[in-house]
A = this chain, B = another copy of it.
Amino acid sequence: MRIVVTGAGGFVGRQIICRLLDRGDSVAAVDTVGSGIPFGASPIVGDLADPAIRAAALAGGCDAIIHLATVPGGAAEADPAASRRINVDAMYDLLLEAGAANPGLRVIYASSIAVFGDPLPDSVDDSTPLSPRMIYGGHKAMMEDAVAMFSNRGAIDGVTVRLPGILARPKGPSGMKSAFMSNLFHALKAGEAFTCPVSADGMIWAESVSRCADNFVHALSMDTALLPSTRAVTLPALRIRMGDLAKEVARQCAVSPDLVTYLPDADLEIAFAAQPPLATPAAERAGFAHDGDLATLVANALATLS
């Protein structure tokens, strides 16, 4: 298969591409910068809002698209016009053009739990309505509808997966407000102190990047008749107390858990550490899975830390 991966140089994209190359797929890897794209993929470096970049991605045939490229949450909030241009308009154009070139191709769309809004309702399950507040979540929700529409028309065969917190992102600025969860791993692995901006009792939803990549690869070949009529599922995630996560990371890194202190920021606490009970039976029926338990999640996350 020739598979187009957008956002190919991101930490999720790289993991997915390595799996695809390992199994013999041809990968067209689109990103605004080429440096993160794994060796072996065909790099297409540029902006998805540029018609020439989309044409290059689709040239030579496209059996499936894994669409990860995004203006992330914090960046979208700072520049809503950029989010609209990339997260809505460019993606819509990509779906139109891909569906015209190869009607019915599989498209896997990385949406976000931000579609549910913040603060989240008292519990989240497959019937939770979408009520986004952040620009990022609003634009992701709009494009969930577009994926459903294009799928119902036969232009694409879409799968929308809503990502929880993915652990662990690389160091450095990501534009993601949730980056603190990953920075915990980096600090403790380096034996450094970490000031956690949410409380020890804060509850987060998390999935390791390797488990997340497995879920995307699964979405390439799954039977989409198993999906809800919206084509969208919230990926299974472990619901973890932040203090328990810190202790387990410290244990596996063989450092003292006392390296972690807590200085909660009210906005971050509400947005990312007040996550209610989560039920994802639709995703589980469709074959998606979380890491299983906290120790496995932390081990998976540490194994890919970069």
Chain B binder among A22-30, A125-133, A161-169: A125-133
A residues 146-191 near B (Cβ < 8 Å) are 146, 148-150, 152-153
Q: Give the CA-CA distance A143 to B229 in the complex, in Å.
A: 19
Tell whether, in the assembled complex, residue B127 and residue A145 are in contact, meaning their CB atoms are under 8 Å apart.
no
Residues of B within 8 A of A121 (CB): 229
Which residue on chain B has the smallest CB distance to residue A121?
Answer: B229
Chain B proximity of A201: nearest CB distance (Å): 26
Q: Give the CA-CA distance A149 to B133 in the complex, in Å.
A: 5
Tell whether, in the assembled complex, residue B133 and residue A145 are in contact, meaning their CB atoms are under 8 Å apart.
no
- Number of A residues whose C-beta is below 8 Å from B? 30
Tell whether, in the assembled complex, residue B84 and residue A131 are in contact, meaning their CB atoms are under 8 Å apart.
no
Q: Give the CA-CA distance A117 to B142 in the complex, in Å.
A: 16
Residues of B within 8 A of A9 (CB): none
Tell whether, in the assembled complex, residue A145 and residue B129 are in contact, meaning their CB atoms are under 8 Å apart.
no
Residues of B within 8 A of A115 (CB): 145
Chain B proximity of A121: nearest CB distance (Å): 7
Contact of A104 with B by CB under 8 A: no
Q: Give the CA-CA distance A138 to B92 in the complex, in Å.
A: 12
Q: Give the CA-CA distance A231 to B134 in the complex, in Å.
A: 16
- Interface flags, A215-240, vs B, CB<8A=1, else 0: 00000000000001111000000000
Listed residue (A131, A132, A145) with the most chain B CB atoms within 10 angstroms of its CB: A145
Chain B proximity of A285: nearest CB distance (Å): 15
Contact of A137 with B by CB under 8 A: yes
Residues of B within 8 A of A141 (CB): 145, 148-149
Residues of B within 8 A of A5 (CB): none
Contact of A203 with B by CB under 8 A: no
- Interface flags, A266-280, vs B, CB<8A=1, else 0: 000000000000000
Q: Give the CA-CA distance A133 to B154 in the complex, in Å.
A: 9
Residues of B within 8 A of A143 (CB): 142
Closest 7 interchain pairs by CB? A138-B149, A133-B152, A131-B229, A141-B145, A142-B142, A129-B230, A132-B149
Residues of A participating in the B interface, judged by any CB pair closer than 8 Å: 84, 92, 115, 117, 121, 127, 129-135, 137-138, 141-146, 148-150, 152-153, 228-231
Between-chain CB contacts (< 8 Å), 28 pairs: A84-B92, A115-B145, A117-B229, A121-B229, A127-B127, A129-B228, A130-B145, A130-B148, A130-B230, A131-B148, A131-B152, A131-B230, A131-B231, A132-B145, A132-B148, A132-B149, A132-B152, A133-B149, A133-B153, A134-B149, A135-B149, A137-B149, A138-B149, A138-B150, A141-B145, A141-B149, A142-B145, A145-B145
